[in-house]
Amino acid sequence: MNEELIGILLFGVALISLFVGYYVGFTFAGVSVLVGVAFLGLDLFSFMPYRIMAIMENTTLMAIPMFIFMGIVLQKTGLAERLLESSAKLFGGISGGVAISTIVVGALLAASTGVVGASVVAMGVISLPVMLKNNYHQPTACGVICASGTLGQIIPPSIILIILGDVMGIAVGDLFKAAVLPGFMLVTAYALYILVLGKFKPDFCPPIVVDEPKSEIIKQALKDILPPLVLIVAVLGSIFSGVATPTESSAIGAVGAVLLSIAYKSFSIKSLQAVSKETVKVTSMIFAVLIGATAFSMVFSYSGSEYLVEEFFLDLPGDKWMFIIIAMVAILILGFFIDFIEIAFLVVPILTPVAIALDIDLIWFAILISMNLQTSFLTPPFGFSLFYLKGVAPSWLKTSTIYKGVMPFILIQIAVLCLVLAFPKYLIIF
């Protein structure tokens, strides 16, 4: 078989296997071994132990289990519940107030945990009943929760930014800095949408009645918001100031999360064991995918298909802009069907050499990819945020209602993505 066709076969079989539902890590590894041995020979995999060892010795990737641990600890402390209850009372008196409080809490949880599933579930359990009880438009309530929960994809410390930094060979600290402003833009765009909706369709997101004194509400809100803000400053501030690397700051975050759990009187050895087991499960899944993807990229590269892809994109009219547009559209479409981790390990390694050849700023390109991958959490039929919310929503709430609710927020994400695409020099400046 023509060596260039080997890569096409490899990519096609992998995608079909993922669509069918095979586990990601096993799919990457299994397809790579079958195709590699059949057409390139068994000797190719003699390099695999060295690649696995390089992954295990990569200090940047050590930040992943630390940030996952931090997020799960904060989830168990009741931090999300405290934030949502205080914020709902603080903003509840205005049209769309509960929705805006959900967006604010989503941003705070993203900056302190980065775990999308935990954020969506927490807000679905606490915020959704409040909005439904106060006659919120059901699709709008669902859309706000799903969109706010996905902010952990772009707002540091984001797991996907760590993965992209490793895959693309970029300093994770630089990616964290570059992601701050686009993340703030998304939060602002969500809030503006709710305010406009509350102005022109007040029955969609009516205000709620708050009986407590304003001074007490503010006092309680500060008490609940201050601890996660301190943690955010400790983690991100140490990175941005150059005091610590992302790996070192992840350790600071993990310790800080444990201290918060002690302060909230929710710490116990039993809960620490449960958090540790959950962290190992999630981390093992990510690293299994990474090892499988390493085998996949090795076979793809040695088959010569990498150069075929590069030549295809370099020959396109419109130079780098055509490449970027095609890449963004391809990632957006793939996001309808497969997970962001799969796209990061399967597609990004193919696109990165082309971006380098076209002299594209890799930090800017990585931010575009990250924002695009965030959309994959919302796009039907396999958006994970939709599943997370459906799992905790009332049984009578239809899946179609959730799908309908996320549509405006998908458009908002695409609009902000286009802004970052159009004005890179003005937006990635932190």
User: Whole-angstrom Cα distance, residue 264 to residue 269?
Assistant: 15
Tens of pLDDT along the chain (430 residues) come to 566 677 778 878 887 887 776 776 788 788 888 888 887 777 777 878 887 887 787 777 788 888 888 878 877 777 767 777 777 777 767 788 888 888 988 888 787 766 676 678 777 877 888 888 888 889 999 999 999 888 888 888 888 888 898 888 888 888 888 888 899 999 999 999 999 998 888 888 888 776 777 777 778 778 777 887 888 788 888 888 878 888 888 888 888 888 888 887 878 888 888 888 888 887 887 788 778 877 877 787 777 766 676 677 777 776 788 889 888 988 888 887 777 777 888 788 888 988 998 888 899 999 999 999 888 888 876 677 887 788 778 888 888 888 899 999 999 999 999 998 888 765 554 4
The one-letter code for the residue type at 18 is: L
Amino acid identity, position 339: D
Is 75 exposed, middle or buried, given 0-12, 13-18 or 19+ CB atoms closer than 10 A? buried
SS3 state of residue 22: coil
- Helix orientation angle between 384-392 and 399-422, rounded to the nearest 10 degrees: 140
Contacts for 373 with CB less than 8 Å, ≥ 6 apart: 153, 160, 331, 335, 340, 343, 344
Specify the pTM: 0.80
Residue of 235, 259, 233 whose CA lies nearest to 246: 235
